[in-house]
Amino acid sequence: KAIELNPKLSEAYNNRSVAKINIQDYNGAIADCTKAIELNPKYADAYNNRGIAKKNIQDYNGAIADYTKAIELNPKDANAYCLRGFIKIELDDKKGACIDFQKSKELGFEDADDYINEHCK
């Protein structure tokens, strides 16, 4: 409904992408995030959500690119570092993953210690 009322509202596309992720419509979520990013190229949350959707269709390189852009736009986003770390584990980049998990810990991500203990010891 929000998109019908204001088709230039990037937040509406991003919010709809979350709903699509929740029902496993990952390609639909990617399309909505891409539209949100077209409307607002500095929308870090849309990059994060698109990364989540890409991860779920095994587009790991695409997910890393999106998380990296989200971090570039919002360097204090502990969640983006953590999400990127998990993709690096999938790509057998344990060292890179551990650097991301450590950074997420420094930024206050509560579960980072668990991931460090599981993957980096």
Domains of the chain by residue range: 1-66, 76-121
Going by C-beta distance under 8 Å and a sequence separation of 6 or more, which residues neighbour residue 50?
17, 29, 30, 33, 34, 37, 66
Q: For 96-120, how does the pLDDT look when each residue is reduced to its tens digit (9 = 90+)?
A: 999 999 999 999 999 999 999 999 9
Q: Which fold has domain 1-66?
A: 1.25.40
Instruction: Kindly report the pTM of this predicted structure.
Output: 0.90
Percent of the chain at pLDDT > 90 equals 89
In 10 A of CB 41, how many CB atoms? 12
Q: Which of 16, 21, 58 is nearest to 39 (CA)?
A: 16
Q: For 22-42, how does the pLDDT look when each residue is reduced to its tens digit (9 = 90+)?
A: 999 999 999 999 999 999 999
Q: For 37-93, how does the pLDDT look when each residue is reduced to its tens digit (9 = 90+)?
A: 999 999 999 999 999 999 999 999 999 999 999 999 999 999 999 999 999 999 999
Is residue 51 a contact partner of residue 30, using CB atoms and an 8 Å limit? no
> How many Å apart are CA 19 and CA 28, to the nearest integer?
10
> How many Å apart are CA 76 and CA 67, to the nearest integer?
12
b or e along 53-67 (b: 16 or more beta carbons within 10 Å of the residue's beta carbon)? bbbeeebbebbbbbb
